[in-house]
A and B are shown apart, each in its own frame.
Chain A
């Protein structure tokens, strides 16, 4: 396990860097929108812990064809002005993401990234203000309810401990569409009690049917509110996030 607190100080592939014209490579992009703030944490988790090739890309420079997969990280893209995720959803970068999704490449949106995916129509449903209207940051317990998604293959029924940190994470969708998603195996993550003796309400935001994350019909586009990148090292409180992010190993080169 890499223990590096200084992930953000080492020279980075900061945004703005120009990319040589290369064909689709075995590497993962992490897109930085103005206001993204979990971008460097995702890069740290993928590069230093999972140890795969990944690049931080400024949204304006993003070309989907250069990458095998993409992460839309958390934060407050465009300051959450108008509504969380909606401005980024109309950006050229997300057009590129849509193209990648249609090619079957894995796309994961975490927190604000999830909000961008629902706002852009890449994922069904919407993320509303938390039931109690307060921002909530704490570790929650999740259950993987579907292995249809690229990131949860072979993990059905697994329990994860991951932190959430959001003000608008209450998943909502119309009832008939919810049933359809359930039939399709698109409900990937649900907040769940830690065990039989855990009487606390596991749901931190009042989301419908305790939904924490969903995928598209093909399973290559996944969005979730909890932060797997914050749970990749024991020191930081847990390693369960690795289960999900490690799936990128299939499509990305290992870092030397």
Chain B
């Protein structure tokens, strides 16, 4: 082990090793000379996949990024949209997959820390956190260990900084056994006229580095994230940063006070790529360079080389930019909070330079050399999808009982009870519902949902990814939100493999087509490649995560989504016999294949708009997604603590004669909602007028859930749904 560590160190001390020969040639060409070791190390980190998006950038151009509510699109620390009344929402999602697979507690915690800083960097107050986490299987001790520690890491960090974790998703699939996924997302509010961007610094402005001290932790974190995980990765624990939520809390409070006082010209967080990335991007976006005196930086340990200082990814650090007149004010606030800081240099009109205490130049180049990495056009190779799926007849009663308590559909309360989801006095739509609903400062609310589906995207990345967008869209609509925009987080395998690149391209194409049709542009995102296990050569299933954000303009429209006795149940949207890739297939048949539901994007939009337009005639509504009509109904019943009875006969469907019952109740056709209403007639009349397929399928009441002749005791379903995850996690101590 010791030997391995010293080897690691030697590698770390030899920069530039991950640049390809072509890239090294490009460096010499742009620089006009041989780079020294420090320069090469800085370029190496900035041209890594993680910092430069060199493989993904050409493909991401497909995504719609403008129009509608967009205020700040991709390319900044977070996307910003206009939510009305002079207010904006800033939001962003990012992975911390590689660190979390090695050190789940610290990996997940620092994932939260990083995403919070991104929101602050836009001048916004972070008000809500979200997580999308993926593991192998609940029956695997390793996955339970990861899950337990990831949840603890997110909870300990988020709870301490006082930003509630209000929503998210947990999914299990065998493909994540060795490579878990941890996506962290954050949303904040900012007045439209107070948005900060990293392009507003000017010549002569002071650069102040504040927060945690700079240590050796996290060096090469991004190059670590830009390769596959192997047994040696266990020895890469030093590349996983350690979080300090208390310092982060002080940084949040101080940053908000600095912003409120109008003392900053710009600000940026230090994340992947450390000081090199933050300072060069800030200088570049502001159209200039910078002089950085590294002798001023407060260090955690002695004897750190310039290379280590410039590449350290120590946590809880921010860069503040202030002009002469306001510098003293900035320092006074930092001192009030007891935050360590250093004036490390100035923005210039010239090159980006790193200096020592005597003013000797240690590195010098155009800022653009660091920030404008050459892209790579990676080859793709088409994958054929298995269309047929075996069909077995299973008893619906049995299947439904199993689905309710299955690892992918059961209640997540074991997780969200460990997260403070109430702090901030904004959480009106709490965890366990379709989406999170948060009071907004403009007198309305925002609705936020994270969705993904690795099984779908593995079977068919195009349809699967478009389907994920549709599902997120429906979830936002189901809470009364008008979807406005999204950010995406794309976790894939090794992009050097043409098959993976094909999946990536198809996935982005699916997302793009769906976003265009639904008029919800993408305002930012993150790509995580190399989620692949060295030994098994197993790549994760492609996993795009969509974070959809919508708005509710009046609090009168808030619904508890709890149906009442005697209300009629109306199904909106056409059902097709589409169970390929469904939860029923996976959990009951053990089949990870089939033809996916066809995303009918026009119908998706039309049906969503119908629900929102008829909101006053709706008491409770739930989208139909994973698990089909049967599961949606069960969830509504469990939430209302009340039974219901539906019949399948009236369900709008084409060619029903030859369809089996399970194809109807477990179909995952998109664009559907179940609505509980006292005004069924009005609703159906409006649907007919709008050309939306809809039918009354049942009534609310009683202690049983009935689907045609099938009957389930509500109490049994509550027990199975509510307790499954608790049992797995509490009864197994590992």
Q: Are B425 and A35 in contact (CB under 8 A)?
A: no
Decide yes or no: A38 and B427 within 8 Å by CB, A3-B555, A6-B442, A16-B336 being known contacts: no
Residues on the B chain within 8 Å of A163, using CB: 422
Given contacts A38-B162, A235-B439, could you give 17 more A-B pairs where the C-beta distance is less than 8 Å? A6-B439, A6-B443, A8-B125, A9-B189, A9-B191, A34-B246, A37-B161, A41-B423, A79-B245, A134-B417, A135-B155, A135-B419, A137-B417, A137-B419, A235-B555, A236-B425, A236-B427
- CB-based nearest B residue for A3: B555
Q: Does A58 contact B (CB under 8 A)?
A: yes
Within 8 A of B (CB), among A225-247: 227, 229-230, 233, 235-237
B416 at the interface (CB under 8 A from A): yes
Min CB distance B124 to A, Å, is 10
Could you say which of A37, A38, A136 contacts B418, with CB atoms under 8 Å apart? A136
**Cβ-defined partner of A79 (8 Å) among B246, B421, B422, B440:** B246
Residues of A within 8 A of B422 (CB): 137, 163, 165, 227, 230, 236-237
**Size class of the contact patch on chain A:** 35 or more
- Which of A9, A10, A75, A227 has the most C-beta atoms of chain B within 10 angstroms of its own C-beta? A9
Q: A41-B425, A229-B425 are in contact. Are A78 and B418 (CB under 8 A)?
A: no
Interface membership of A96, Cβ < 8 A: no
Indicate if the CB atoms of A230 and B425 lie closer than 8 Å: yes
A76 interface contact, C-beta 8 A: yes
Given A34-B337, A230-B425, A235-B555, verify A137-B420 contact (CB < 8 Å).
Answer: yes
By the criterion CB–CB under 8 Å, are A45 and B425 in contact? yes
Q: Does A7 lie at the interface of the complex (its beta carbon under 8 Å from any beta carbon of B)?
A: yes
Can you list 19 A-B contacts with CB-CB less than 8 angstroms, sorted by A residue number?
Answer: A4-B439, A4-B443, A5-B441, A8-B424, A10-B441, A16-B336, A35-B246, A37-B160, A38-B162, A58-B336, A60-B336, A134-B418, A137-B159, A137-B418, A137-B422, A165-B159, A233-B425, A235-B428, A235-B555
Q: Is B270 an interface residue (CB 8 A)?
A: no
**A-chain residues with CB within 8 Å of residue B419 when the two chains form the complex:** 135, 137
- Give chain A's interface residues, CB within 8 Å of chain B: 3-11, 14-16, 34-38, 40-41, 44-45, 58, 60, 74-76, 78-81, 134-138, 163, 165, 167, 227, 229-230, 233, 235-237
Q: By CB atoms of chain A within 10 A, which of B155, B419, B421, B441 has the most?
A: B441
Q: Which 5 A-B pairs have the closest CB atoms?
A: A5-B439, A37-B162, A79-B246, A6-B441, A165-B420
The reply to whether A78 and B426 form a contact with Cβ atoms under 8 Å apart is: no
B445 at the interface (CB under 8 A from A): yes
On chain B, the residues within 8 Å of A5 by CB distance are: 425-426, 438-441, 443, 445
- Is A78 within 8 A of B423, CB to CB? no
**Which one of A14, A38, A79 lies within 8 Å of B257 (CB-CB)?**
A14
Residue pair A78, B246 in contact (C-beta under 8 Å): yes
Say yes or no for B684: interface residue by CB 8 A criterion.
Answer: no
The size of the chain B interface, using a CB distance under 8 A, is: 47
Residues of chain B with a CB closer than 8 A to A80's CB: 160, 246
Give bound CA distance, A137 to B422, whole Å. Answer: 8
B379, CB-defined interface residue at 8 Å: no
By CB atoms of chain B within 10 A, which of A45, A58, A76, A137 has the most? A137
Q: Which residues of B contact A79 (CB under 8 A)?
A: 160, 244-247, 249
Interface assignment of B430: CB less than 8 Å from any CB of chain A: yes
Are the C-beta atoms of A76 and B558 separated by less than 8 Å? no
Give 1 or 0 for each of B88-128: 1 = CB within 8 Å of chain A CB.
Answer: 00000000000000000000000000000000000001000
Q: Does B691 contact A (CB under 8 A)?
A: no
Given A135-B156, A136-B418, also A81-B425 (CB < 8 A): no
Q: Which residues of A contact B333 (CB under 8 A)?
A: 16
Chain B 140-173 per-residue mask, 1 if CB under 8 angstroms from chain A, else 0: 0000000000001001100111100000000000
Q: Does B387 lie at the interface of the complex (its beta carbon under 8 Å from any beta carbon of A)?
A: no
* Interchain CA distance A134-B730 in the complex, whole Å: 11
Chain B hits for A40, CB < 8 A: 424
Taking CB atoms, residues of chain A closer than 8 Å to B67 are: none
Residues of A within 8 A of B439 (CB): 3-6, 235
Query: A34 vs B336: C-alpha distance in the bound complex, in angstroms?
Result: 10
Complex Cα gap A75–B260 (Å): 22
Whole-angstrom CA separation of A3 from B419 in the bound complex: 25
**With the chains together, A25 CA to B249 CA distance in Å?**
31
Tell me which residues across on chain B come within 8 A of A229, comparing CB atoms. Answer: 425
A239, chain B: closest CB distance, angstroms: 13
B423 touches which of A4, A165, A237 (Cβ 8 Å): A165
List B404-435 residues whose CB lies under 8 Å from chain A. 416-428, 430
Q: CB-nearest residue of chain A relative to B428?
A: A235
Please measure, in the bound complex, the distance between the C-alpha atom of A34 and the C-alpha atom of B338, giving whole angstroms.
9
B85's nearest neighbour on chain A, judged by CB, is A6
B159:A236 contact, CB within 8 angstroms: no
* In the assembled complex, B250 has its CB within 8 A of some CB on chain A: yes
Chain B 27-44 residues near chain A, CB threshold 8 A: none
Among B64-80, those with CB < 8 Å from A are none
Instruction: Enumerate chain B residues within 8 angstroms of A35, measured Cβ to Cβ.
Output: 160, 246, 249-250
Tell me how far the C-beta of B250 lies from the nearest C-beta in chain A, rounded to whole angstroms. 6
Check A236–B428 contact: CB distance below 8 A: yes
Assess whether B428 is in contact with A138, with CB atoms less than 8 Å apart: no
Chain A residues, Cβ within 8 Å of B443: 3-6
Complex contacts, A134 vs chain B, CB 8 Å: 152, 417-418
Within 8 A of A (CB), among B229-277: 244-247, 249-250, 253, 257, 260
**How far apart are A204's CB and chain B's nearest CB, in angstroms?**
9
Cβ–Cβ < 8 Å partners of B152 in chain A: 134
Determine the residue in chain B with the shortest Cβ distance to A79.
B246
Interchain CA distance A236-B429 in the complex, whole Å: 8
> Known interface pairs A5-B443, A16-B336. Does A138 touch B417 (Cβ–Cβ under 8 Å)?
yes
* Contacts A5-B441, A6-B440; A137 near B336 (Cβ below 8 A): no
Contact residues in A for B421 (Cβ distance below 8 Å) = 137
- A135 to B419 alpha-carbon distance, docked (Å): 7
Closest Cβ neighbor of B414 among chain A residues:
A134
Residues of B within 8 A of A237 (CB): 422, 430
Q: Chain A residues near B156 (CB, 8 Å)?
A: 135
The answer to whether B442 and A44 touch across the interface, beta carbons within 8 angstroms, is no
Nearest Cβ on chain A to B98's Cβ, whole angstroms: 26
Which residues of chain A are near B162, meaning CB under 8 Å? 36-38, 75-76
Residue of A nearest to B162 (CB): A37
Contacts of A76 in B (CB 8 A): 159-160, 162, 245-246, 249
User: Would you call B125 and A9 a contact (CB within 8 A)?
Assistant: yes
For B249, the closest partner residue in chain A by CB is A35
Closest to B189 in A: A9
Please give, as numbers and ranges, the residues of chain B lying within 8 Å of A75 by CB-CB distance: 162
Closest CB in chain B relative to A252 CB, distance in Å: 20
Residue on A nearest B156 in the bound complex, by CB = A135
Q: How far is the CA of A34 from the CA of B253 in the complex (A)?
A: 9
Report B638 CB to chain A, min CB distance, Å: 15
Chain A nearest CB, measured from B554 CB (Å) = 11
Determine the distance from Cα of A138 to Cα of B411 in the docked complex, in whole angstroms.
15
Q: Give, as a whole number of angstroms, the nearest-CB distance from B542 to chain A.
A: 33
- CA–CA, A228 and B218, complex, Å: 41
Q: What is the CA–CA distance of A121 and B548 in the complex, to the nearest angstrom? A: 49
CA distance A6 to B156 in the complex (A): 26
Asked if A235 contacts B423 (CB within 8 A), the reply is no
The answer to whether B338 touches A135 (Cβ under 8 A) is no
- Cα A11 to Cα B260 in complex, Å, equals 8
In the bound assembly, the distance between CA atoms of A45 and B426 in angstroms comes to: 12
Complex contacts, B160 vs chain A, CB 8 Å: 35, 37, 76, 79-80
